[in-house]
């Protein structure tokens, strides 16, 4: 909590002590996850809103710890970010995503564009551009077939600094998208200056839009804003046919969510593509 001193009164409860222990446990196990081969990537399809044709896949990190079993990204990514481990893990994700795209290509699937999530710490540590350039070169990956997703809050936290990092990334020729858009209070001034290609509407708006007119209005406003700035707009978390229809009517460009496909292991992607191909 950001409420300052008062919250400290509640800090040292047995409950918090347990949570702190769990956190330390996760952090120490995570430290060995790469060398023990416990990390993997799942891939979730993203489709064209008009035709439902495949646009690309998003790489989503999975951790199955030998001792702890599967741990969800919402649990371990924040820990990896706070401990700094996300820099090494993120480099592993980038290399693995590029290797997987090359493997699909070698299986005759053609080029499947891949989106990769990148954390604030990776963006700021200065190695990201080099790591990405090397991984693409090592696997013969076309930069235009890689998309980097950065959350809106990450970018706006240090907007001036982010601008420099984004330009360096963009100079590689990759696509850039702002993730969880609508939750991070973007300055429109920066939005216009960032060298970005896409906005990804946060799934909380998509989830509530059928029942809540405010959320529907926000979704439409984001699509309008994105198109005015010359950006493509993606909706994530699309779970129902009704949501897909509403997003299509709102001129959203791309859709992602359980309705079209869950995150799946890479070996399932070829079958998924064959099923949806006309
Ligand atoms: P995200 O980037 O917003 O990814 C989308 C999340 O929504 C994924 O959760 C995905 O499984 C889930 N999702 C997709 N479609 C639907 C749907 O229709 N309904 C619902 N309810 N959920 C849906 P996941 O895989 O648990 O990842 C959670 C978050 O962890 C990601 O959110 C991202 O912020 C982070 N993350 C995952 N992989 C990486 C990574 O390699 N690097 C970094 N830095 N962060 C990652
Ligand atoms: Ca994402
Ligand atoms: Ca998101
Ligand atoms: Ca709401």
237 lines ligand 1 (CB under 6 A): yes
Burial class (CB in 10 A: 0-12, 13-18, 19+), 8: exposed
Question: What pTM value is reported for the model?
Answer: 0.93
Give the whole-angstrom CA distance, residue 57 versus residue 59.
6
| pLDDT level of residue 99 (50, 70, 90 thresholds) | very high
The rounded Å distance from CA 13 to ligand 2 centre is 34
Neighbouring-strand partners of residue 255: 47, 235
Q: Is the pLDDT of residue 12 over 80?
A: no
**Mutate-to-test residue for ligand 1 from 39, 60, 74, 235, highest number of ligand atoms within 8 A of CB:** 60
Listed range (94-103, 162-171, 268-277) with the worst mean pLDDT: 268-277
Q: Do residues 172 and 142 touch, judged by C-beta distance below 8 A?
A: no
The rounded Å distance from CA 200 to ligand 3 centre is 7
The rounded Å distance from CA 18 to ligand 2 centre is 30
244-255 tens-digit pLDDT: 999 999 999 999
Neighbouring-strand partners of residue 198: 177, 232
The rounded Å distance from CA 173 to ligand 2 centre is 19
Q: Is the pLDDT of residue 10 over 60?
A: no
Give the whole-angstrom CA distance, residue 263 versus residue 266.
9
182 lines ligand 1 (CB under 6 A): no
257-267 tens-digit pLDDT: 999 999 999 99
Structure tokens at 110: 């053609």
Q: In what helix (H) or strand (E) does residue 176 lie, and over which residues does it extend? A: strand 175-181
Return the residue whose CA atom lies nearest to atom 43 of ligand 1: 117
The rounded Å distance from CA 184 to ligand 2 centre is 14
pLDDT at position 275 is 86
Between 1 and 51, where is the model more confident? 51
pLDDT at position 277 is 66
* Rg, C-alpha atoms of the chain: 19
21-25, 92-96, 191-195, range with greatest mean pLDDT: 92-96
Q: Is the pLDDT of residue 190 over 80?
A: yes
11 lines ligand 1 (CB under 6 A): no
119-141 tens-digit pLDDT: 999 998 889 999 999 999 999 99
For the CA of 116, the nearest atom of ligand 1: 41
What is the β-pairing status of strands 232-235 and 54-65? Answer: unpaired
CA distances from 135 to 13, 47, 81, 102, 149 (A): 46, 26, 22, 11, 17
Neighbouring-strand partners of residue 114: 57, 146
Return the residue whose CA atom lies nearest to atom 11 of ligand 1: 263
Give the CA angle between residues 251, 255, 261 to the nearest 5°: 155
Q: Provide mean pLDDT across the span 38-47.
A: 98
Structure tokens at 93: 């994700």
Structure tokens at 221: 């406003």
Q: Is the pLDDT of residue 276 over 80?
A: no
Q: Is the pLDDT of residue 3 over 50?
A: no
Q: Do residues 181 and 152 touch, judged by C-beta distance below 8 A?
A: yes
Q: Cβ atoms within 10 A of the Cβ of 169, count?
A: 22
Q: Which of 57, 58, 71 is nearest to 26 (CA)?
A: 71
Neighbouring-strand partners of residue 63: 39, 71
The rounded Å distance from CA 208 to ligand 4 centre is 6
Q: Is the pLDDT of residue 16 over 80?
A: no
Q: What ipTM is given for this predicted complex?
A: 0.97
Return the residue whose CA atom lies nearest to atom 4 of ligand 1: 60
Residue 10 DSSP symbol? G
257 lines ligand 1 (CB under 6 A): yes
Give the whole-angstrom CA distance, residue 1 versus residue 230.
37
225-248 tens-digit pLDDT: 999 999 999 999 999 999 999 999
């Amino acid at each position: 909590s950001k409420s300052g001193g008062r919250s400290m009164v509640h800090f040292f409860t047995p409950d918090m002590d347990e949570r702190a222990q769990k956190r330390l446990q996760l952090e120490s196990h995570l430290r060995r996850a790469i060398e023990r081969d416990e990390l993997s990537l799942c891939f979730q399809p993203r489709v064209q809103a008009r035709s439902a044709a495949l646009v690309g896949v998003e790489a989503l990190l999975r951790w199955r710890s030998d001792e702890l079993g599967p741990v969800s990204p919402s649990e371990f990514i924040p820990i990896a970010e706070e401990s700094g481990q996300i820099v090494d893990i993120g480099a592993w994700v980038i290399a693995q995503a590029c290797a997987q795209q090359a493997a699909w290509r070698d299986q005759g699937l053609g080029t499947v564009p891949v989106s990769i999530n990148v954390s604030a710490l990776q963006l700021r540590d200065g190695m990201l551009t080099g790591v990405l350039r090397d991984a693409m070169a090592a696997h013969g990956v076309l930069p235009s077939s890689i998309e980097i997703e950065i959350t809106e809050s990450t970018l706006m936290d240090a907007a001036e600094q982010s601008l420099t990092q984004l330009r360096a990334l963009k100079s590689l020729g990759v696509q850039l998208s702002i993730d969880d858009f609508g939750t991070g209070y973007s300055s429109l001034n920066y939005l216009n200056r960032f060298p970005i290609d896409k906005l990804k509407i946060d799934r909380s708006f998509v989830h509530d839009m059928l029942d809540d007119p405010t959320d529907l209005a926000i979704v439409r406003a984001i699509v309008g804003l994105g198109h005015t700035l010359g950006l493509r707009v993606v909706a994530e978390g699309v779970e129902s046919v009704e949501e897909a229809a509403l997003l299509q009517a709102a001129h959203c460009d791309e859709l992602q969510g359980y309705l079209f496909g869950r995150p799946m292991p890479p070996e399932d992607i070829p079958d998924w593509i064959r099923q949806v191909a006309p």
